[in-house]
Amino acid sequence: MNHFIDVIIPVPLKKLFTYGITASEADFLKAGMRVAVPFGKSKIYTGIVYRVHNEPPTAYDAKDIQQILDDAPIVNQKQLQLWQWIANYYMCTLGDVMRAALPSAFILESETVVIKNKTKTIDETVLKDDEFLVYETLHHQSSLKIHDISNILDKKNVLPVIKRLIEKEAIFVEEEVYEKYKPKLVRYAKLHSNFSSETALQKLLDDLNRAPKQRQVIMTLFSVSATTKKPVKVSDLATESGTSTAIIKSLIDKGILEEYYIQTDRVQYSGGENEATKNLNEYQEVALKEIKNAFNKHAVTLLHGVTSSGKTEVYVKLIEDTLNKGKQVLYLLPEIALTAQLITRLQEYFGEQVAVFHSKYSSQERVEVWNHVLNNSGKAKIVLGARSSIFLPFDDLGLIVVDEEHEQSFKQFDPAPRYHARDTAVVLANMHEAKILLGSATPSLESYFNAKQNKYGFVEITKRYNDVLMPDMELVDIKDKFKKKLMKGHFSDRLIEEMTETLREGHQIILFQNRRGFSPIVECNTCGNSPQCPNCDVSLTYHQYRNQLRCHYCGYNSVMIKDCKACGSAELDSKGFGTEQIEEEVKTLFPDYKVARMDLDTTRGKFGYEKIITALEQQEIDILVGTQMLTKGLDFRNVKLVGIMNADNMLNFPDFRAHERSFQLMLQVSGRAGRTQERGKVLIQTYNPYHNILQQVSTNNYVAMYNEQMNDRYNYKYPPIYKQIKITLKHKDYHKVDVASAWLAKSLKQLFKDHVLGPESPPISRIRNQFHKNILIKIPKQQSLSKTKKAIIKINNSFFNIKDFRSVKIILNVDNF
């Protein structure tokens, strides 16, 4: 009898490939193991065994595999099942899913580049001959391709050698350079040793009688260190003593206090006793009971809890329960919300059982987490991770928490698989018969809808922890302010007043400026022309700090122009405003305070994001200007005022979710204000204070927003009432993409009638020299989604049978919102 395996290889092929194996290999191989297989003329890929069987392929002669790479599966049955679901639901190939799912160190292939691990000294005597040859060559050559290694060893079959070298930590597989988390430095203060004697101290306190604030700092330092018996952070000292870091600084300058830094390692768990989890207050307690009850009927439950209601502590109790049952936990968060704050908080409770998985980690580190999860090891009982952690090889999952479930970044837009991690997590939980809790202060309409339809369980917390009041919201009509000449730049008199007051009290301020759809564009005052990107049909944006014009889609840039390219006039105006401009204006308005900015530009560098957060936490920043990055689950104790510079550009963004998103964004940023006893203040500047969304934001009325938006979704046939699939066609020849998209839309319309929209040119119709056309298919609830997809695939196939269309690229995006 002949033996075969079906193999998934990480390329977008519609079908699995079948390879021949020997009888003993068939005995040994199991689904989920890696094999090295030849593909095409000379390529070699790492594939995952999908199925072992005895059916020869009919269309071709099966080639033999090159090598078996694993002793045991690295991908389990449930994962393969999930991959299959993703491929079907999101209309992509298993190869696409495989590439997204596996850390790149698992996928050796002929294009892989290996480099020497310079951080480790290798005892060369432990290397086998072939390993030594490769390692030796890497002394003289910075990198090698698999193909070069084949030549060096004079054999085809080299992946096992590479695999062994990786295991011995002699080499790395090259990838983007990932940054490891650096330990953060936290500033502490102690009394200078000059004052350790009783008499010196007494004299100091007497001297300080004339400086009551400074005296207060010293007294607080004593009382805090007496109670906590731990080093005292400068920031804590400032808050506890009710003074400011400036006063502490003057004590340091005078040599009364000494400052020093301690590294607090944010990722590695340093051991030590675990803390007991916190006692819940009555609202949290009720919510926890209700969640457990809801779980009896609904595996999926939505927790709608206002910002700072203490949702995390509720999750912690559920996690504790799940661990006690010996099961694994997945805690999903948007990438950027995976902050040190949260990691530390969970490690305090659960110690080394917490593993973190996200894109800042190197492939090697991700492999480590992968293996811990695969072996259900004690070191990864709780995985705290971003979107892609749904791909980990969970063995026995008991609970998934999806925090900030409304966040758009759970959806992967490019490349395929274009999956939504929250929705995929629901499927994953189902496979493990696990419970899944979706949490948010501003749930997505689709989750809230599912809860209302009784498809999901539903639990609410309406009170903030410790009865901290919701911030006081004020809408400022800037049209009126402009008329009355009460604006300075982009700042209304009200905003300036509140900022002045807040700063005088020693509190911090966050100013929010929406990034999307609002970049500084240069426009000629004489003829109205604005410089365009030569590749993208989109206006270039002005970057003051580099004095450049840049395209946000393709990265094209040029120096800022001196005069209009169209009419030669030198009167150029930069329309709109970005965070940079706000920062400049703040610096002029409040020259004595420290201003910082948080946006894509300032956080791109090494740990930029973490650095700014730490600086804010440590109160080294008085005013922080930022984009949506500010909204994500951060807990800043001393921020009292939040200013939203311009609500209108969010509301006017051309997208059916713009209103929902504006509501979510504004409430989330507002949630950063006044998280302690002091009531926070939020000021929203707008041209249109009577906009319903702004009224709903200012009264924190989620239900009114939900009802109104759902009404629109019914009327205009949008999700969650209708399902949606977007088809994008791309080609460098406009005529071709035009004809092709017209053909495709016409064929689709024959079937789906007026539920097909388009083809349309998107607002940016050319990106990287490719013209785009979009077709949107709306799918009513009663229409079978799987049949619809089958029909689309069939039409697609006929499309590609037309010779002229073959070079057109088609992208399918299911739930494209």
Residue 451 in contact with Zn ion, rule: CB under 5 A: no
Q: How far apart are CA 447 and CA 438, in angstroms?
A: 8
Least gap, CB of 633 to ligand ADP (angstroms): 6
CB atoms within 10 A of CB 504: 8
Least gap, CB of 769 to Zn ion (angstroms): 9
- Is 466 or 569 the residue whose CB approaches Zn ion more closely? 569
Least gap, CB of 354 to ligand ADP (angstroms): 16
- Is 288 or 683 the residue whose CB approaches ligand ADP more closely? 288
Question: Rounded to 5 degrees, what are φ and ψ at 203?
Answer: -65, -45
Q: How far apart are CA 78 and CA 585, in angstroms?
A: 55
109 close to 34: Cβ distance less than 8 angstroms: no
Q: How far apart are CA 610 and CA 59, in angstroms?
A: 55
Span from 115-123, 196-204, 523-531, 586-594 in contact with Zn ion (CB under 5 A)? 523-531
Residue 313 interacts, among Zn ion, ligand ADP, none and using kind-specific CB cut-offs from 5 to 8 Å, with: ligand ADP
Least gap, CB of 466 to ligand ADP (angstroms): 7
Query: β-strand 472-477 against 681-686: which pairing, if any?
Result: parallel
Least gap, CB of 521 to Zn ion (angstroms): 14
Residue 551 interacts, among Zn ion, ligand ADP, none and using kind-specific CB cut-offs from 5 to 8 Å, with: Zn ion
Residue 312 interacts, among Zn ion, ligand ADP, none and using kind-specific CB cut-offs from 5 to 8 Å, with: ligand ADP
Q: How far apart are CA 267 and CA 354, in angstroms?
A: 10
Residue 536 in contact with Zn ion, rule: CB under 5 A: yes
Residue 703 in contact with Zn ion, rule: CB under 5 A: no
Q: How far apart are CA 712 and CA 568, in angstroms?
A: 47
490 close to 581: Cβ distance less than 8 angstroms: yes
Edge to edge, the sheet with strand 508-512 lists 472-477, 681-686, 639-644, 508-512, 623-626, 595-598
Least gap, CB of 528 to ligand ADP (angstroms): 46
Residue 302 interacts, among Zn ion, ligand ADP, none and using kind-specific CB cut-offs from 5 to 8 Å, with: none
Residue 529 in contact with Zn ion, rule: CB under 5 A: yes
Which of residues 205, 246, 262, 527 is near Zn ion by CB under 5 A? Answer: 527
Q: How far apart are CA 537 and CA 398, in angstroms?
A: 49
Closest residue by beta carbon to ligand ADP: 310
- Is 333 or 727 the residue whose CB approaches ligand ADP more closely? 333
- Is 258 or 321 the residue whose CB approaches ligand ADP more closely? 321
Residue 558 in contact with Zn ion, rule: CB under 5 A: no
According to DSSP, residue 209 is labeled: G
Residue 125 interacts, among ligand ADP, Zn ion, none and using kind-specific CB cut-offs from 5 to 8 Å, with: none
Least gap, CB of 285 to ligand ADP (angstroms): 9
Least gap, CB of 676 to ligand ADP (angstroms): 9
Binding region for ligand ADP (CB under 6 A): 278-281, 284, 305, 307-313, 465, 635
CA separation, residue 813 to residues 10, 388, 411, 429 (Å)? 20, 18, 11, 23
- Is 218 or 280 the residue whose CB approaches ligand ADP more closely? 280
Residue 567 in contact with Zn ion, rule: CB under 5 A: yes
Residue 180, SS3 per DSSP: coil
Which of residues 225, 532, 535, 796 is near Zn ion by CB under 5 A? Answer: 535
Which of residues 52, 232, 564, 669 is near Zn ion by CB under 5 A? Answer: 564
Residue 548 interacts, among Zn ion, ligand ADP, none and using kind-specific CB cut-offs from 5 to 8 Å, with: none
Q: How far apart are CA 508 and CA 191, in angstroms?
A: 27
CA separation, residue 726 to residues 86, 232, 418, 801 (Å)? 17, 55, 11, 21
**Among the listed residues 649, 614, 613, 618, the one whose alpha carbon sits nearest the alpha carbon of residue 631:** 613
Least gap, CB of 309 to ligand ADP (angstroms): 4
417 close to 100: Cβ distance less than 8 angstroms: yes
Q: How far apart are CA 722 and CA 785, in angstroms?
A: 11
Residue 591, SS3 per DSSP: coil
Residue 457 interacts, among Zn ion, ligand ADP, none and using kind-specific CB cut-offs from 5 to 8 Å, with: none
Least gap, CB of 740 to Zn ion (angstroms): 23
Q: Give helix 212-228 / helix 245-253 axis angle, nearest 10°.
A: 100
Residue 535 interacts, among Zn ion, ligand ADP, none and using kind-specific CB cut-offs from 5 to 8 Å, with: Zn ion
User: Applying CB under 5 A, which residues contact Zn ion?
Assistant: 524, 526-527, 529, 533, 535-536, 551, 553-554, 556, 564, 566-567, 569
